[in-house]
Amino acid sequence: MFDLSVKTPCIGVCSTGIGDTVCRGCKRFSHEVIDWNSYTPEQKRIIDGRLSGFLSQCVSNKLQVHDAALLRWQLETQNVRFVAHHDAYCWVFSLLKAGAGQIDSTRDFGFEVDLRYRDLTLAQLRERIDSEFLLLSQAHYDRYIAMPDLFGDNFGDNVP
C-alpha cells in the first residue's frame, strides 16, 4: 500500500530562528516549521504538495527530464535520498544537491539542461534553482499569508 505519510522537509539549515519568515533551507513558512509536529497528515501533505510544486516549477524552467526511469535508477544506484512520490524534476534537484560536481553527462542520468543555462556548472544551476525556489516561497508567503485580506471576508485564510 502507498505510504501517504509526509516526513519533515527540514534539511537542518533553518533560518527561521534568526527571523526569516520563510526558511532558507526547506522553504516552509516559519509557523509551519514551528507547528509541523502538531499538523495532521493531510496538512503535511498540503505543505509538501506546495513545496514540491514550487520546486518542480523552478527545475523544469531550466532543464528537461527525458527518461524518468533512468533518473530513478541512477538515484537508487547512487544511494541518493529522494522522495519517490514527488515528480522527476524534484528528483533531479535531489541529485544535484547530492553531487552536481560529479555528473559528467546529464543524459546518463535522464535529463538535459536547457540551452539558456548550459554555460552554468550544475552546481551553479543548483544554486540558481534553490534561490528561485526561495523567492517563489517568499512571494507566496507575502501574497497569501502576510497580506491582509483585502475583501474583509476571510477569503484567503485557508490558502496553504
pLDDT 10s digits, 104-115: 999 999 999 999
Give the least confident one: 56-60, 64-68, 155-159.
Answer: 155-159
**Closest Cα partner for 21 from 35, 13, 31?**
31
pLDDT at 13: 86
- 129 Cβ neighbours under 8 A, 6+ residues apart: 55, 58, 59, 62, 93, 96
Question: For residues 118-145, b (16+ Cβ closer than 10 Å) or e, as one string?
Answer: eeeebeebbeebbebbbebbbebbeeeb
